[in-house]
Amino acid sequence: MSEKIATREAYGKALVDLGAQNDKVVVLDADLAGATMTKYFKAAHPDRFYDCGIAEANMMNIAAGLSTMGLIPYCSTFAMFGAGRAYEQIRNSIAYPKFNVKICCSHAGVSVGEDGGSHQSVEDIGLMRMIPGMTVIVPADANEARKATFALAEFQGPVYMRLARLATPVFEEDYPFQIGKANVLREGKDAVVFACGLMVNEALEAAKMLAAEGIEITVVNMHTIKPLDAECVLKYAQQCGNVITVEEHSVIGGLGDAVADALMGKVCCKFRKIGINDQFGQSGKAADVLREYGLTADQIAARIKETL
């Protein structure tokens, strides 16, 4: 690992470069450009930036209209207000007609910290995953967030991308990003951990702790929740026999359920979901809140040992 950069920061800076390469890219924000980091695009390409005010539902409808003109709208706000407040507009105005809109929401999960449960979206992956035809992506670090931002412009159709407020380590290894194709970051025979977002780094750290005890864990970065890389899931479930999912999201409807769906009736294995257990978040320092919900590396390592 090297420096720490938030995925929202990488997204904001990637938009600037993407906008310079592709004049069809436009960016919409809901009066949160300083937090979602679309401020960088606003400064570089002011004629293609639209501040829609605190009105996410309107923003999604505007983006839908812009997409019919051949433009590629990137909509940014907090996950709670994008996936939550504007759900109907995303469903009916964007996904139902299959419009080419990219919904890129930051401040997801409990690592939002002091903003508390009202702003900590722990159900957004589930909400977006349920929408027919919606692609769902959760980058693990800044490099992946940048690559994903560019990949969305080449991808035809609606996409939801989940970004984080908290600065987290950037992986030293520069691996490829392909929508729908998982990345295996560590190989091990005793169990496989499928993780997404900030939890990929925690899973890798947990694997290092377990390796010191002679337990070897495969860690898979499942950056695309939908469409899920089912081939990868089945392969490592069969090889390892023990499957664990880790996500900064409710255990209902997210990565864990997606992996379980892929496994059901196909592989006989032990299976455990690590995430937020049907609870709202609460206010506190990000590190403290993550520990409160059992989402730190040492806690994950302990849960993996229990599973084995």
Return the closest-CA partner of residue 296 out of 285, 271, 173: 285
- The values of phi and psi at residue 281, to 5°, are -80, 180
Q: In the chain, where do the E strands start and end?
A: 4-5, 25-29, 49-51, 72-78, 102-106, 135-137, 159-162, 168-169, 183-186, 191-195, 217-221, 224-226, 242-250, 270-276
Which residues form the catalytic set? 56
Check if the beta carbon of residue 143 is closer than 8 Å to that of residue 172: no
Task: Give the chain's largest Cα–Cα span.
Answer: 58
Collapse the DSSP code of 210 into the 3-class scheme (helix H, G, I; strand E, B; otherwise coil) and give the result: helix
Which string of DSSP letters, residue by residue, matches 153-169? Answer: HHS-S-EEEE--SS-EE
The rounded distance, in Å, linking the Cα atoms of 239 and 281 is: 35
Cα 93–97–103 angle (5° rounding)?
A: 55
Q: How far is CA 81 from the centre of its chain?
A: 16
Cβ neighbours for 96, distance < 8 A, ≥ 6 positions apart: none
